[in-house]
Amino acid sequence: MAGLPPLPVRDPALADKHLLALPDGVEPDEVEVLASSRFRNVRWEDAVPEAPARTGVLPAVTAALGIRAVADRATGPRALRLARLSSLAGPYAVRVEDAVALGLPGSTSTVWVLTAPRERGERPWPGGDRDGLKRAFPDGLPVREEERVLQWLVAAARRLGGAVRTQTGAVLTPDPDASTDLTVLTARWLEPDDVLALVQRVQPRAYLSVATPGSWAGPASRTGRGSQGAVGGSPERGGSGLRAALERHGVADEEERHRLMAEADAYDELMLAAPPAAEAFGVLVDLGVDGMLAVEVSAHEQLPPLLEGLPWVADGVVAYRVRWEPREIEQIEQERPTLEHRVARSRSAPLVSAVARVLHAELGGEIADEADFLVDPADL
């Protein structure tokens, strides 16, 4: 980008920083919006003493159906304050040869430099490493504020098609296609049958994932204590301890036991006859070899900071989470999943987007991705 200060690649202090590398065309406002989606009180600060102060802030405007504050342009690098001890300075221009020397993708056009406290915890446990952080920090994972800002850095790189170079020298290039799930946040609650009808516009095979009243007839025969008299059965584990506890703390009076059992039976009958209204439910679609698509509906407590304080969230928010679940669920947490997983994901992601579009068209509100970044429905 013309007019941007060059990245100080020869500065020894740069090797001790986390870097966010972005391709051409990503504006500072986009980075600011993503930061405001995760952190409160995000603000611009001068990164160098000679940089002129901001001359003002334009009124808040909507972007991707979200809210952002647009600051007047100031020449020179600035720092975007993320948290109490963490800030992101930039953007800096970077030459292709310097980007390659740092291990960054050749498509890198600008770099942001993260200043954050170094806070490390235990060595990573074996298991999934979707973001590559275990690979980048084999001696101790970031914790507390460093963990929060570094996770945001990786999420921002995934959203913007960039990469992250950690202080350890590892380069993380998150796959943008790995983020499939979407959530429609709205003030409206729809009954299960209504949500099912909406999902069936996209996937006619969708069905409700709710318990059918009266469908459960108790535990299977010859299980638990019933297994003791069955051929080949085994005593209930811990049965002797349970018997001793009942003898010590149970109700000894037989009439009182019968009364308590009668009250419990009456309560169960009442609940079965007039069950309480559902507070959460789901809709499922069997995708065969590609896995399952699920729409999970429930109240939403923790909003992205961009939405806090808006009038329509005052009376509560309902989340309609549209998730893709592959047959091999562990592949979701792999930094480099198998080809089969990626093929199934490429076929399922458009269905997730289509369901989210249908729900949003009916319910209004906002759409957020897995990282709580707002998404414009027109981009789905």
Is-contact 12 102, C-beta < 8 A? no
Neighbours of 294 (CB within 10 A): 19
> Looking at the predicted structure, is the pLDDT value of residue 197 above 80?
yes
Percent of the chain exceeding pLDDT 70 equals 82
Q: Which residue has the higher pLDDT, 73 or 300?
A: 300
Q: Return the structure tokens found at 7.
A: 């990245």
> Looking at the predicted structure, is the pLDDT value of residue 129 above 80?
yes
> Looking at the predicted structure, is the pLDDT value of residue 57 above 90?
no
* Per-residue model confidence (pLDDT) at position 220: 58
Q: Give the neighbor-by-neighbor strand order of the sheet with 207-208.
A: 207-208, 280-286, 292-300, 317-325, 182-186, 366-369, 374-375
Is-contact 162 175, C-beta < 8 A? no
* Per-residue model confidence (pLDDT) at position 51: 35
* Per-residue model confidence (pLDDT) at position 203: 93
* Per-residue model confidence (pLDDT) at position 61: 35
When pLDDT is cut at 50, 70 and 90, the band that residue 58 belongs to is: very low
* Per-residue model confidence (pLDDT) at position 45: 86
Neighbours of 169 (CB within 10 A): 10
**What single DSSP character describes residue 102?**
T
* Per-residue model confidence (pLDDT) at position 368: 94
Query: What's the average model confidence in pLDDT over 222-243?
Result: 54
**Sequence letter at residue 133:** L
Percent of the chain exceeding pLDDT 90 equals 56
> Looking at the predicted structure, is the pLDDT value of residue 72 above 60?
no
Mean pLDDT taken over the chain: 83
For β-strands 171-172 and 280-286, DSSP reports them as unpaired
When pLDDT is cut at 50, 70 and 90, the band that residue 47 belongs to is: low
Lowest mean pLDDT among 72-86, 283-297, 330-344: 72-86
Distance CA(153)–CA(38), nearest Å, equals 11
Q: Return the structure tokens found at 375.
A: 């998404």
Query: What's the average model confidence in pLDDT over 162-171?
Result: 94
Which neighbouring-strand residues pair with 263? none
> Looking at the predicted structure, is the pLDDT value of residue 50 above 50?
no
What backbone phi and psi angles, to 5 degrees, belong to 9? Answer: -65, -25
Cα 107–chain centre separation = 27
Q: Which residue has the higher pLDDT, 159 or 229?
A: 159
* Per-residue model confidence (pLDDT) at position 77: 72
When pLDDT is cut at 50, 70 and 90, the band that residue 223 belongs to is: low
Q: What angle is formed at CA 315 by the lines to CA 311 and CA 317, rounded to 5 degrees?
A: 90
Which neighbouring-strand residues pair with 163? 21
> Looking at the predicted structure, is the pLDDT value of residue 360 above 50?
yes
Query: What's the average model confidence in pLDDT over 71-90?
Result: 77
